[in-house]
Chain A
Amino acid sequence: MSNGSFLIVRATGRRVRLRRVLVEAASILLGCVILIWSLVPVYNMFLIALDPIGHNEFAGELWPPHPTLASFRALWTESADDVEHIWRQFANSIAIGVPVMALTVLIGSLASFSIGRMRFGRGFGLGSVALLTYAIPASTLIIPFFRVMHVYGLLDNPWAVIAAEVTFATPYAILVLQYYAHLIPAELDDAARIDGASALQLYWRIYVPLMAPALAAIGTYALLFAWNDYFYQYMLLTSERHTTVAVALEQFFDDDDAPWNMMMAIAIVYSLPPIAIFYALRRYMSRGLTAGGVKS
Chain B
Amino acid sequence: MSLQQVLITEPTEVERPSRRPRWRPPLHGSDLSWAIAFLLPYAAVFAGFVVYPMAYGLWMGSDPALYSALFADPRYFRAALNTVVFVALAVNVQMFLALLLSGFFARRRRWIKALLVLYLLPWTLPAVPAFLSFHWMLAADRQGLIDRLLQVLFGIEGPVWLTQGWLALAWDIAADIWKWMPLWTLIFLGGRLAIPQELYEAADVDGASAYRRFIHLTLPLLANLYLVSTLIATIWSFGDYAPVLFVSGGTPAFASDVLSTLGLRYALDFASPRLGVAAGLTVLPLLIPITILLMRRLQQKAVQL
Question: Which residues of A does B touch, CB under 8 Å?
Answer: 3, 5, 7, 27, 30-31, 34-35, 37-45, 47-48, 57-62, 106-108, 110-111, 113-123, 125-148, 152, 163-164, 166-167, 170, 172, 174-176, 178-180, 182-183, 185-187, 189-190, 198-200, 203, 213-214, 216-217, 221, 224, 227-231, 246, 249-250, 252-253, 260, 263-264, 266-268, 270-271, 274-275, 278-279, 281-282, 285-290, 296
Contact of A230 (CB < 8 Å), options: B21, B30, B120, B242? B242
Q: A62-B145, A107-B45 are in contact. Are A288 and B5 (CB under 8 A)?
A: yes
Kindly list chain B residues whose C-beta atoms are within 8 Å of the C-beta of A246.
126, 128
Bound Cα distance from A186 to B281, whole angstroms:
43
Cα distance A134–B104 when bound, in Å? 32
**List of B residues within 8 angstroms of A186 by Cβ:** 19-22
Residue of A45, A107, A185 near B19 (CB, 8 A) is A185
Most chain-A Cβ atoms within 10 A of its Cβ — which of B42, B145, B242, B261?
A: B42
Q: Is the CB of B111 within 8 A of A253?
A: no
Q: List 10 A-B contacts (CB under 8 A).
A: A41-B175, A62-B152, A108-B42, A123-B25, A135-B287, A135-B291, A148-B53, A166-B45, A175-B298, A227-B126
**A271 engages B298 (CB within 8 Å):** no
Distance (whole angstroms) from the CB of B20 to the closest CB of chain A: 6
Contact A107 B242 (CB under 8 A): no
Whether the pair A58, B295 counts as a contact (CB closer than 8 A) is no
Q: Is B117 an interface residue (CB 8 A)?
A: yes
Given A135-B291, A189-B22, A198-B34, CB of A5 within 8 Å of CB of B205: yes
B17 touches A185 (CB 8 A): yes
- CB under 8 Å from chain A, chain B span 287-303: 287-288, 291, 294-296, 298-299, 302
Q: In the complex, A224→B182 CA distance in Å? A: 14
Known contacts A143-B267, A144-B57: does B148 contact A137 (CB below 8 Å)? Answer: no
Q: Which of B1, B20, B236, B260 contacts A286 (CB 8 A)?
A: B1
Do B143 and A58 have beta carbons less than 8 Å apart? yes
Interface of B is mostly: helix
Given known A-B contacts A44-B145, A58-B141, A267-B132, A231 and B2 have beta carbons under 8 A apart: no
Q: What residues of chain B lie closer than 8 Å to A179, measured between beta carbons?
A: 8-11
Q: Are B128 and A41 in contact (CB under 8 A)?
A: no
Rounded to whole angstroms, the CA-CA distance of A145 and B246 in the bound complex is 22
User: Is there a chain A Cβ closer than 8 Å to B52's Cβ?
Assistant: yes
Q: Are B22 and A132 in contact (CB under 8 A)?
A: no
Q: Tell me which of B147, B207, B305 contacts A182 (CB under 8 A).
A: B305
- Known A-B contacts A135-B287, A170-B42; the reply to A275 vs B133 at CB < 8 A is no
B263 at the interface (CB under 8 A from A): yes
How many chain B residues sit at the interface, stated as a range, is 35 or more
Query: What is the distance, in angstroms, from B70's C-beta to the closest C-beta of chain A?
Result: 13
| B283 interface contact, C-beta 8 A | yes
0/1 string, B132-155, CB within 8 A of A gives 1: 111111001111111111011000
Q: Can you name the residue of chain B whose Cβ is closest to the Cβ of A217?
A: B6
CB < 8 Å neighbour of B136 from A48, A116, A129, A289:
A48
Residues on B with beta carbons closer than 8 Å to the beta carbon of A138: 239
A42 to B152, CA, bound (A): 19
Residue-by-residue, is B209-244 near A (CB-CB < 8 Å gives 1, otherwise 0)? 000000000000000000000001001101111100
Contact (Cβ within 8 A) A260 B124: no
Determine the chain B residues whose CB is within 8 A of the CB of A122 once the complex forms: 24-25, 302
In the assembled complex, B253 has its CB within 8 A of some CB on chain A: no
The 4 closest A-B pairs by CB, nearest first: A288-B1, A140-B280, A267-B129, A137-B239
Question: Would A214 and B6 count as touching, CB distance under 8 A?
Answer: yes
- Are B24 and A119 neighbours in the complex by a CB distance under 8 Å? yes
**A176 CA / B240 CA spacing, docked (Å):** 21
CB distance from B33 to the nearest CB of A (A): 9
Q: Which of B3, B122, B264 has the most CB of A within 10 A?
A: B3
Closest to A114 in B: B38
Say yes or no: A203 contacts B38, CB within 8 Å. Answer: yes
CB of B31 within 8 A of chain A?
Answer: yes
Report if A278-B124 is in contact (Cβ < 8 Å); known contacts: A176-B9, A186-B20. yes
